[in-house]
Amino acid sequence: MGEEFYAVIKLVSGEEIMSLVMTDDNDEDPIVILQNPITMKTIHNKDTFYIKVKPWMEMVDDDFFIIKLDKIITMTETKDKKIIEIYNNYIMESNEYETNNTSEMTGKVKPSQKMGYLSSVKDARDTLEKIFNNTDNQSL
């Protein structure tokens, strides 16, 4: 096994992925091992641009993937600190989200204020009715 490094990889399918990479070229058939591969897309707006980050494979629970070298057009090591920081932040946030918001037994997500959950429907209805009734009485 070689050393780990951050790389951007262009696959024969046309996909571009970024990942923490290790190579294994001890066998006759060398492979590339990807850890938490993601896709990054730049979105340009009037005055700025954004980077949209998403997992390379969305419907799996694995963090490691193996690709044979014949499926890779090119691979380049990236040392761009900003791109590596975006990658690491995304991986850390997605791991934190999975740890804090899912129940291993049921798979249900508990809503939080960060997700926009402020109150139950009943509590919100009661609050709005109180506001409506108070303004209705004041106008008389």
Beta carbons of 68 and 120 less than 8 angstroms apart: no
Query: How far is the CA of 45 from the CAs of 53, 67, 86, 112, in angstroms?
Result: 16, 35, 19, 30
Residues 65-99 as b/e (b if ≥16 CB within 10 A, e otherwise) read bebeeeeeeebeeeeeeeeeebbeebbeeeeeeee
Q: What is the pLDDT of residues 46-75, one digit of tens each?
A: 888 888 889 999 888 888 999 998 899 999
What does the block give as tokens for 30?
């060398």
pTM of the model: 0.62
* Fold observed for domain 5-109: SH3 type barrels. (2.30.30)
| Cα 106 to Cα 59: distance, rounded to the nearest angstrom | 18
Query: How far is the CA of 39 from the CAs of 17, 50, 58, in angstroms?
Result: 5, 13, 11
Q: What is the pLDDT of residues 76-104, one digit of tens each?
A: 999 999 889 989 988 888 777 666 655 45
